[in-house]
Amino acid sequence: MWRDAVLVAGKDLRIELRSRVVLHQVLPFGVLVLLLFAFALGPEHGPLRQAAPGLFWLAVLFAGVLAVQRSVAVEGGEGTRDGLRLSGLDPAGIFLGKTVAVVVELLVLEAVLAAGVLLLFGAGVRSAGLLVLASLAGTAGMAAIGTLYGSLSAGLRVRETLLPLLALPVLAPVLVAGTRAWQLGLGTGPSGGSGPWVAMLLVFAAVYLALGVLVFGPLQESA
Amino acid sequence: MSAPAPPSPARRPPRRALVGASGLAGAVGLGVTVWLGLWVTPPDVHQRDLVRLLYIHPPIAWVALYLAFGLAGVASLLWLWPRTRARLWDRLAASAMEVGVVFTALTLLTGMLWGRPTWGVWWVWDARLTSTALLLVMQLGYLALRRVPADPDARARRSAVAALVAAVDVPIVHFSVDWWHTLHQPGTVLNPELDAKVHGAMAWTLLLGFVSVTLVFVWLLAERYRIEALADEAADAGLEAALEERWAEAGATAQAQAPAGVGS
């Protein structure tokens, strides 16, 4: 399973390196969302800095949906899904591999967006470790949900509209917990313990990674 | 005594009668609940007449959040489990989810009607309200997924996974929003003592409300299930009819060609 995961992740990342769709289209979109937030909230740094953690996670969520769409589209070519099914790779490995590829892409995106939040919104860092930990855990959960729902809606003509409707409500806990953790990490919100939030992100990621490993096989049989 | 009848229609009427009876009992029960709730029970000391929403809002919420959604989750799990996989579970999950959407929407509606005069606002970002709202969106997503035309088996598989993901998510949403509040502002707007103050005629009315709304749900669920089964049957019959038509056509062309071939 692990070897297959590495193979699939390597394949997806190689495709990304050669096509640069996420880098050239999804990443600028994420930055654009940050700019649009600033237009919506006004030019003062105060409110922007206050809202920075939530805006960051919202931008990640929206860009994440696009990254998942791309990850599904990669398998959309004629016979690609059949090829993947016939390749003898473990479905759980395929799931983990595709998830890891999305995680890597999103982490790059998050690094850029974090820089954007710091530079454009004038936020300061209080605990860099907390920011990184929360981003890692939150992104893993997000990518797991995205890959699961992405494969669920793969091959459907209404995929583009259906995927956000399915995935975004389920990702609400990531938004809540990620935002609280980032508030503490950036020092913009009320102080408190960051433990529960990081724990929640980790549990969320673990639960959906496990669920994906279990049900991805049956999902691949159909379609 | 009883006239001989073919087995399948003979089995159907008693079940249909039971379903109809539960619908009738639910409707009558709801009527009596309304009568008791509006005219017989006394107004509350604090809430005055607003307390009368107590007889419908919690029963609807119980059906929506636990009965319907729980049933859909369990049925989806049973469908996914290879040993218990049967079309029954897929139909049951779909029916429970679809009827559940109505009850979830009603839960939000009656809750907001109650919240406006009690709290002064239509909506608070409380754990229960927020997770119910997200549940409604997830249920709509499930129904949207089901509407996508597909082979019944593939559709069942997709829907079951979506239902399972949502079922796991709702408690996490609830916890996350709950923590969000308790860690930053002590106490929520909802008053948990409310239920403890219920007694006498009010308790009986509330109990009747629970029973009636549950019966109405059972009736709607059974009818929805029947429609789903009939739709499956119709699809199968349609396919067979289309096949037969093609065969007949092929036979007719063969017959028409045969004499011509002999004659020439």
pLDDT digits (tens, 9 = 90+) for B134-149: 999 999 999 999 988 8
pLDDT of B44 > 80? The answer is no
Kindly state whether B243 is in contact with chain A, defined as any CB-CB distance less than 8 angstroms.
Answer: no
Q: Residue B92 domain-assigned?
A: yes
> Whole-angstrom Cα distance, residue B220 to residue B201?
28
Provide CB contacts within 8 A for B94, sequence distance 6+.
B72, B146, B159, B228
Q: Give the distance from residue B92's alpha carbon to the nearest chain A alpha carbon, in angstroms.
A: 20
Q: Do B161 and A180 touch (CB under 8 A)?
A: no
Q: How confident is the model at residue B260 (pLDDT cuts 50, 70, 90)?
A: low
pLDDT of residue A7: 87
Q: Can you state the angle between helices A128-153 and B152-182, rounded to 10 degrees?
A: 160
B164 close to A (CB below 8 A): yes
> What three-state secondary structure class fits B203?
helix
Does residue B2 belong to any structural domain of this protein?
no
Query: How large is the average pLDDT for residues A50-70?
Result: 92
Residue B261 forms part of a structural domain: no
Both tokens of B7, joined, read 């087995």
Calpha distance B154→A175 (Å, rounded): 31
What is residue B259's predicted lDDT score, i.e. its pLDDT?
59
Burial label, B236 (beta-carbon count in 10 A; 0-12, 13-18, 19+): exposed
* Res. B182 pLDDT band, cuts 50 70 90: low
Of B134, B165, B177, the CB nearest to A211: B165
How many domains does one find in chain B? 1
pLDDT at residue B4, rounded to an integer? 47
What does the pLDDT read at residue A27? 92
* Beta carbon pairs, A and B, within 8 Å: 91
A118-141 per-position pLDDT tens digit: 888 888 888 888 999 999 999 999
Structure tokens at A13: 């990342």
pLDDT value, residue B1 = 41
Per residue, the 3-state secondary structure of chain A, as one string, reads CHHHHHHHHHHHHHHHHHHCHHHHHHHHHHHHHHHHHHHHHCCCHHHHHHHHHHHHHHHHHHHHHHHHHHHHHCCCCCCHHHHHHHCCCCHHHHHHHHHHHHHHHHHHHHHHHHHHHHHHCCCCCCCHHHHHHHHHHHHHHHHHHHHHHHHHHCCCCCHHHHHHHHHHHHCHHHHHHHHHHHHHHHCCCCCCCCHHHHHHHHHHHHHHHHHHHHHHHHHHHCC
pLDDT confidence of residue B122: 87
What whole-number distance in Å separates Cα of residue B95 and Cα of residue B89?
10
- Confidence band for B172, pLDDT divided at 50, 70 and 90: confident
Which amino acid, one-letter code, is at A123?
A: A
CA B234, chain centre distance (Å): 23
pLDDT value of residue B12:
53
Is position B255 within any domain?
A: no
pLDDT computed for residue A203 by the predictor: 93
B60-70 residue pLDDT tens? 988 988 899 99
Q: What is the pLDDT of residue B186?
A: 42
Is B254 among the domain residues? no
Q: Is the pLDDT reported for residue B191 higher than 70?
A: no
Mean pLDDT over A142-149 rounds to: 94
DSSP string computed for B4-25 = P--HHHHHHHHHHHHHHHHHHH
In a domain, B192, yes or no: no
Tell me the average pLDDT across B1-15.
50
Residues A15-26 pLDDT 10s: 888 888 888 889
Direct distance between the N- and C-terminal alpha carbons of chain B, in angstroms, rounded to an integer: 66
Encode pLDDT of B116-170 as tens digits: 888 888 888 888 888 889 999 999 999 999 988 888 888 898 999 999 999 988 8
Contacting residues of A for B148, CB less than 8 Å apart: 156-158, 162
CB contact under 8 A, B141 and A152: no
Rounded CA separation B15/B28 (Å): 20
pLDDT digits (tens, 9 = 90+) for A161-215: 899 999 999 999 999 999 989 988 888 777 777 788 899 999 999 999 999 999 8
pLDDT score, position B10: 43
Q: Which of B140, B166, B176 sits opposite A173 (nearest CB)?
A: B176
For residue B260, the tally of other CB atoms under 10 A from its CB is 9
Residue B49: domain span? 23-187+199-223
For B264, the token pair is 């020439």
Is pLDDT of B74 > 90? yes
Residue B90 lies in a domain: yes
* Residue B181 in contact with partner chain A when CB distance is under 8 A: no
Nearest to B180 among A166, A176, A193 (CB): A176
Q: What is the pLDDT of residue B223?
A: 92
Predicted pLDDT at A222? 55
Residue of A134, A110, A144 whose CA lies nearest to A201: A134
Residue B190 CB partners (closer than 8 Å, separation 6+):
B126, B128
CB contact under 8 A, A169 and B183: no
pLDDT at A113 over 90: yes
**Higher-confidence residue: B123 or B47?**
B123
A192 contacts B158? CB cut-off 8 A: no
* Contact criterion met (CB < 8 Å) for B145 and A152: yes
* Record: contact A173-B183, CB cut-off 8 A: no
Q: Is residue B234 part of a domain?
A: no
Bigger pLDDT: A140 vs A88: A140
Q: Which of B170, B177, B179, B184 to mutate to test the interface with A (most CBs of A within 10 A)?
A: B179
Confidence of residue B5 (pLDDT cuts 50, 70, 90): very low
pLDDT for position A81: 75
In the predicted model, what is the mean pLDDT of residues B192-208? 69
Are B157 and A222 within 8 A, CB to CB? Answer: yes
Whether B125 has its CB under 8 Å from any CB of chain A: the answer is no
Is B162 part of the contact surface with chain A (CB cutoff 8 Å)? yes
- Note the pLDDT of residue B176: 81
Shortest CA distance from A191: residue in chain B: B184
- pLDDT confidence of residue A87: 81
| Dihedral pair phi/psi, residue B125, rounded to 5° | -85, 60
Which of A57, A81, A170 to mutate to probe the B interface, most B CBs <10 Å? A170
